[in-house]
Structure 1
Amino acid sequence: MAVDPRWTALALGRFGLGARPGDLARAEPVEEVLRGEIQAGVVPLPGGPSLSSASTLLTALQAEDQSRKLARAGNLDAPTPEGPPAPPIPERTYQAEVAARLALAQQAPTGLVERLVWFWANHFTVSVVRGANLRVSAGAFEREAIRPHVLGRFRDLLLAAATHPAMLIYLDNIASVGPNSPAGQRQGKGLNENLGRELLELHTLGSEGGYGQADVTALARILTGWSLQRDGQAAGLPGATAFRRAAHEPGAVTLLGRTYLDVGPEQLRMALDDLAVHPATARHVALRLARHFVADDPPPALVARLAQTFIDQDGDLSRVSLALIEAPEAWNPVQRKIRSPQEFLVAALRGLALAPHPGMVMNGLAALGQPFWSAPAPNGYPDDAGAWASPEGLRTRLDLAARTGQLAAGTDPAAFAESVLGPLATDETRTALRRAESRAQAIALVLMAPEFQRR
């Protein structure tokens, strides 16, 4: 069977991170390539000497804070540094994490698995806007809680995300204490319901999943005691996740009509296992996946099929992902989705074979409103055209496209258009290329063409 380059171009934009030079000339049908990536079950991990576990990074941050306090107190024995001071640990860590993620995106054969990582990291949002502790641990959260499970069981992904140090910090569970626990009675502290609420509303059942305020409170009670290791005296590094029995609300808890006995940390695991297989969770996950990859208002039949696969396969995300790319509704030739800022910039770098400069990309994403791990709220970055296709947003994209065109001014614009768009390129785009005043302008025109902006 002959390979259709139009389908290859469509798939690499819709399901991947965009075509690289030579990708549209693949000899193997793109559907088989995508299917093979999922079935291989390999999720690459970003590497580099600067990338450590969240607990190690949080411990280093605490040490740096203590060192600064000593310096401010007049530590005359401290050595005088030579040259400009190094950026603080949170900024160094954040930049290293972004650089590693960009390298993976540039190297990915299609980018499908990376797109799944991006989707799930946004689904289980933690954001660096909440301060240094998150700036130092958000990348580790993706590496430790998201990547190992994006092709595994949803229940494992849910537990890993909910109990990771970054999530416990971000949604204030480290400040949540059972009112009737020994710690609560001694300190006069009580519940913080943020993590319980978002686990129900955003991560599992969805806002229309049939839960009420009593369920939010119940899950918050179950979550008490899940905090961070405070020192190195117990098992685990300071900053690692720890279950603190003395802060856990005692007694059985009824959540969504089911009672969970007070069996320590197993109480949360049992509750999350049940939430992970709830039919409302299946519908919520299916809707978000279909909305992200296919259309802002996805076909109901597609959503229903993904939800049923989720239920039938016990939340096996590799099988759900296969059902997505095998669904006929997902291959509608009309490009309905607009690329998010992250997708747009990465696709441009891949198509032009430009080495991603982290500083340039971070500045560009900041201008476009989508820096890595920086969503303004726990519901993550939006996934619809209205959020990214505003007049101001498109003007900023045009500015970035012009700068990128200047960086790649030695590239043949016609060959570039053929390598990233192929048969998707319209007559209007090809005419605009011929009329461009310079190579840089022509490249910018390709980047701003509707068939490149959309997927």
Structure 2
Amino acid sequence: MAGPDDLKAGAVALQRFGLGARPGQGEAIRREARDRLLAEIAAGPVAQPQGVAFSGAAEIGQALYAFEDQERIAREAKRVAAQQAQAVSPGAQSAGMQVAGAGAMSGQMEVAQAPAEVKPSGQNQAAQPAKPPPNEPALPFRTYRDEVKSRVDLALAAETGFGERLVMFWSNHFCIGATKSNICRIMAGAYEREAIRPHVFGRFEDMLIAAESHPAMLDFLDNRQSIGPNSPAGRRQRRGLNENLAREIMELHTLGVSGGYNQADVTNLARIITGWTVVGREGVLGFPGSFAFNAGLHEPGVTPLLGRSYDQPGRAQGVAALTDLARHPSTAHFIATKLVRHFVADDPPPKLVDLLAATFRQSGGDLPSVYRALIGSDEAWKAPATKVRSPQEFLLASYRATGLQPNPGQILGPLGTMGQPFWQPSGPNGYADTNVAWASAEGIKTRIDVAAGWGRQTANAVPDPRSQADDILGPILSPETKQAVARAESRPQAIALLLMSPEFQRR
């Protein structure tokens, strides 16, 4: 039978490796925490969000192009109507006022009707996105919002949340920015569903290739604009390489900034992945919006990279280069460092990093093997709870603890206020993963305000905050927090005090 120390370690583990306890899980899940985490690894692929509007990138791309065509038609109709309203005879000033007013109204009618009357070239009528109800946002943001909601629902229902934490880690590692463009906004959820989730319990190189070849990533880091200077298109257009994706693959996704590459390697990797692009609205190379290899953009010839030469034909050249980058010793150390920093401490213990890096190398990048080494390490299990939950983790843990089933506004609003909306980092390096980023005085003040709001929203669902504190925190509940919750002036205040307690905030 588990002793007090084991139960305390289990309680910490549910926060360190998962998303925190849900009401009613209690002692049983704490006692079996390590076994349950290992069982989640053994179970295989993480679940996929349900109820999303589009199955994947190809379907989304077709709908997006149709939406953008409708927007273009509406803008043109509005411009023409405005010109007609101003085309008034100089000798008919008084009548002109009436004509202008009538023209404007006619223009408004044209704007409303044009999308339904004009079929954009290259699209069939079935591909036209339905007109949203009044006050609904446009298609890209509406799709983003619904993807976020489905993703959060899945995290709230998870038993321990370890798989969902891993999804969050890898989605941030291979991040895109939803605010970059319509494609990035509308495909952000599909990118996570297609490039990240299927490989969380698989091989790193498979996730790497899936992420770098996804339309959202190719748009976010501009590879669709990259043209081999000696390719057929490069010779015609006199356009050249865009090195953004190649640079971030090496600096942020594989080797790390100190991983032993130089500028020539960045340029050569950019040459190798020319032709990795997104199918346009005409659908010449495949389904509009999907990934395609365009041989007409690809730099021909043998290309060196990190001391090796790559002469494979077409897309295979890029796959071979990415596979070697995934297996590089610098990649193993870089990924191990990031995993330990995320789950254990801002200053990753060197021995634990070395253990995970060695496991990564020996297993050929088998991620379940790396996770088992992490969960099985006493150093990871018994480290002090010093990491502050990120805003996303705080939101999910709070909703799990209180049982709140949030609407989209209760997700998007708080995360925007706290500075960590889903899939919207300010740069390709993703959201920061250290206390400095989230535990500033201003950041804590914002959390207090957010927690106070959640206290008011969940007061009726949490009849006894004192019992809830015991249930959620168990053996890590401190006497100080227990007393503060008991002495709160109101039920909403008691809930807010629980959510802002050190035991709840740190993992």
Q: 1:254 is paired with a residue of what secondary structure?
A: strand
| AA of the residue aligned to 1:46 | P
Question: Could you tell me which residue of structure 2 aligns to residue 68 of structure 1?
Answer: 71
List alignment gaps of at least 5 residues for structure 1: none
Q: 1:195 to 1:83 in 2, by over 3 A?
A: closer
After TM superposition, the structure 1 stretch with the greater mean CA deviation from structure 2, 194-203 or 404-413, is 404-413
Alignment TM-score, normalising by the size of structure 2? 0.87
1:45 aligns with 2:97: no
Per-residue deviation, 1:433: 1.6
Aligned ranges 1:409-428 → 2 under 5 Å: 409-410=459-460, 411=462, 412-428=464-480
Aligned partners of 1:253 and 1:262 also within 8 Å: no
Question: Could you tell me which residue of structure 2 aligns to residue 452 of structure 1?
Answer: 504
Per-residue deviation, 1:204: 0.3
Per-residue deviation, 1:131: 2.1
Q: 1:313 to 1:180 in 2, by over 3 A?
A: same
1:275-332 Cα shifts (integer Å, max 9, x gaps): 0110000000000000000000011000000000001111000110111111111112
Aligned partners of 1:55 and 1:165 also within 8 Å: no
Q: 1:217 to 1:414 in 2, by over 3 A?
A: same
After TM superposition, the structure 1 stretch with the greater mean CA deviation from structure 2, 148-157 or 333-342, is 333-342
Per-residue deviation, 1:82: 9.8
After TM superposition, the structure 1 stretch with the greater mean CA deviation from structure 2, 99-108 or 22-31, is 22-31
Question: Could you tell me which residue of structure 2 aligns to residue 269 of structure 1?
Answer: 319
| Number of residues of Structure 1 aligned to a counterpart in Structure 2 | 455
Which of 192, 205, 214 pairs up with 2:264? 214
After TM superposition, the structure 1 stretch with the greater mean CA deviation from structure 2, 329-338 or 69-78, is 69-78
Question: Could you tell me which residue of structure 1 aligns to residue 349 of structure 2?
Answer: 299
Question: Could you tell me which residue of structure 2 aligns to residue 227 of structure 1?
Answer: 277
Q: 1:249 is paired with a residue of what secondary structure?
A: coil
| AA of the residue aligned to 2:173 | H
Give the ranges of 4+ consecutive aligned residues of structure 1 lying more than 3 Å apart after TM superposition. 75-83, 231-235
Percent of aligned pairs sharing the same letter: 52
List alignment gaps of at least 5 residues for structure 2: 78-109, 118-130
1:165 aligns with 2:215: yes
Per-residue deviation, 1:60: 1.1
Question: Could you tell me which residue of structure 2 aligns to residue 23 of structure 1?
Answer: 25
Question: Could you tell me which residue of structure 2 aligns to residue 353 of structure 1?
Answer: 403
1:77-107 Cα shifts (integer Å, max 9, x gaps): 5559796254211011001100110110110
Aligned-pair RMSD on alpha carbons? 1.6
Which of 231, 243, 246 pairs up with 1:181? 231
Which of 4, 7, 10 pairs up with 1:5? 7
Which of 436, 451, 454 pairs up with 1:401? 451
Per-residue deviation, 1:438: 1.0
1:40-91 Cα shifts (integer Å, max 9, x gaps): 1031001114133112212211111111222233355555979625421101
Question: Could you tell me which residue of structure 2 aligns to residue 88 of structure 1?
Answer: 138
1:288 aligns with 2:319: no
Question: Could you tell me which residue of structure 1 aligns to residue 254 of structure 2?
Answer: 204
Q: 1:83 to 1:131 in 2, by over 3 A?
A: closer
Aligned partners of 2:228 and 2:240 also within 8 Å: yes
Which of 175, 179, 190 pairs up with 1:129? 179
Q: 1:429 to 1:200 in 2, by over 3 A?
A: same
Aligned partners of 1:9 and 1:24 also within 8 Å: no
Q: 1:396 to 1:315 in 2, by over 3 A?
A: same
Q: 1:192 is paired with a residue of what secondary structure?
A: coil
| AA of the residue aligned to 2:469 | A
Alignment TM-score, normalising by the size of structure 1? 0.97
| AA of the residue aligned to 2:472 | V
